[in-house]
Chains A and B, each alone.
Chain A
Amino acid sequence: MTEYDIPVIDQKKCTLCGLCVDICPENVLAIHAGALVFDNPNACTMCAQCESVCPEQAVSVYYHISWAEKKE
Chain B
Amino acid sequence: MRNDWQSVAITSDLSPQCRRELDACVWQVAYRKGEAVVWEADDCKALYFVSSGAVEIYRTAVDGREHTLGVIMPGQVLNVVPVLREEAKNPANARCIRDTILLILGREDARRLMGHYPELAIALAEAMADRLQQMTRKAGALALHTVRQRLAAFLIAEADQDEKDPHIFWTRDDMARQIGTVRDVIGRNLRDMETEGVLRREKGNIILLDRVRLQRIANGEEPT
| B-binding residues in A (CB < 8 A) | 4-5, 44-46, 48, 51-52, 57, 60-68, 70-71
Contacts and interface: CB of A to CB of B under 8 A. Distances in A.
Contacts of B170: 62-65
A41 to B, nearest CB: 12
B59 to A, nearest CB: 19
B171 A67 contact: no
12 contacts: A5-B203, A46-B203, A60-B171, A61-B172, A62-B204, A63-B201, A63-B204, A64-B170, A65-B162, A66-B159, A66-B166, A66-B208
Contact of A5 (B173, B201, B204, B211): B204
B163 A68 contact: no
A63 B84 CA distance: 38
A5 B160 CA distance: 22
Contacts of A51: 171-172
Contacts of B187: 48, 52
A18 B22 CA distance: 54
B41 interface: no
B173 A65 contact: no
A44 to B, nearest CB: 8
B203 to A, nearest CB: 5
Nearest to A8: B171
Interface in B144-194: 155, 158-160, 162-163, 166, 168-173, 183-184, 187
A7 B219 CA distance: 33
A67 B172 contact: no
B24 interface: no
Contacts of B211: 67
Nearest to A61: B171
Nearest 4 CB-CB pairs, A to B? A62-B169, A65-B158, A46-B204, A60-B171
B154 to A, nearest CB: 9
B138 interface: no
A22 B160 CA distance: 38
A57 B211 CA distance: 33
Given A60-B173, A70-B163, A65 B204 contact: no
Given A65-B155, A66-B208, A45 B203 contact: yes
B205 A64 contact: yes
A62 B160 CA distance: 18
A7 to B, nearest CB: 9
Given A60-B173, A64-B166, A64-B170, 20 more contacts: A4-B169, A48-B172, A48-B187, A52-B187, A60-B171, A61-B171, A62-B170, A62-B204, A63-B169, A63-B204, A63-B205, A64-B168, A64-B169, A65-B158, A65-B170, A66-B205, A66-B208, A68-B207, A68-B208, A68-B209
